[in-house]
Amino acid sequence: MHISFRTRIALPTRFVVPTAFAGLFFAATALCQQATIQLPKPQTSGGMPLMQALAQRQTTRAFLDKPLPPQLLSNLLWAAFGVNRPREVKQGLGRTAPSAMNRQEVQLDVVLVDGVYVYEAEQNRLRLLVPGDLRARISPPAAMRAAVTIVFVANQTQDYAQVDTGFIGQNIYLFAASEGLNAWFYAYQAPDETATLKLPAKLKILYAESVGYPPR
C-alpha cells in the first residue's frame, strides 16, 4: 500500500499536519489528559535544618503563577502526608503526619493548573478528579495564582480529622519554608464546591492550603 505524505488534515488551529504524523499528534494530546500522573520518587534527605525552617515558617498570601516542577511537587506531597515507613503495630504503611488511631482518614485533593487530583500516597501518584484550571473557582482571590492548592477532605463522621489536618498543614508549612515557597492555610468557605470536586455525599471539605513561588 502506498501512503502519500502529501495528504493533509485540517485542524481547528489552522495548522496542517501530514497524515503520517497525525496519529502521533493525537496520541500526545491524549497523554496530556491521562487519568493518573506517576510522580517522581520523593527526595527524603537534605533540605533546611528543622530549627531554621521553624524560624522561617510564616503565612504569605501572595503567589507567582508558575507551576512546581514534578520533583518538587512530589517532595511537597510526600512531606505533607506521604508514606515514610511500614507500620509496626498494625499491618500497613506509616505516614509523615500522625492521625487519630492511625485511621489516615484525610484525603488530599490537589488543585493544579490543569485539573484537580487525588493524592494516592502509597503509589505516589495523582489520580484525576476534574480536568481544567479550577483555581479561580476553588481558591480565594489571593490564592488563585498559587501553583498548587491542597484541599483537605474527610468523612463527615470522622471527629478527629480536623486535628489530623492541622498536622498535615504544619508539615506543608515547614516544607515551604525549607524550599523558599510561600504557603497559606485557610478555612474553606465554599461548601458548594463539593460538587465541583465531584465528592461523594459522605465527604466534606475541611480546609485548604495554597503553596507557590513568591511574587517577583
Where are any strands of DSSP class E within 34-168? Answer: 36-38, 83-86, 93-95, 107-112, 115-120, 125-131, 148-155
Domain ranges within the chain, ordered by starting residue:
8-32, 38-212
**pLDDT, block means (10 residues), the chain with 216 residues:** 41 43 37 78 96 98 97 98 81 87 92 96 96 92 96 90 96 98 88 76 92 95
The model's pLDDT over 17-36, given as tens digits with 9 standing for 90+, comes to 444 434 433 333 333 557 99
Query: Considering the entire predicted model, what is its pTM?
Result: 0.81
**Quick one: 38-212 is in which CATH superfamily?**
NADH Oxidase (3.40.109.10)
Query: Strands 16-18 and 8-10: what pairing?
Result: antiparallel
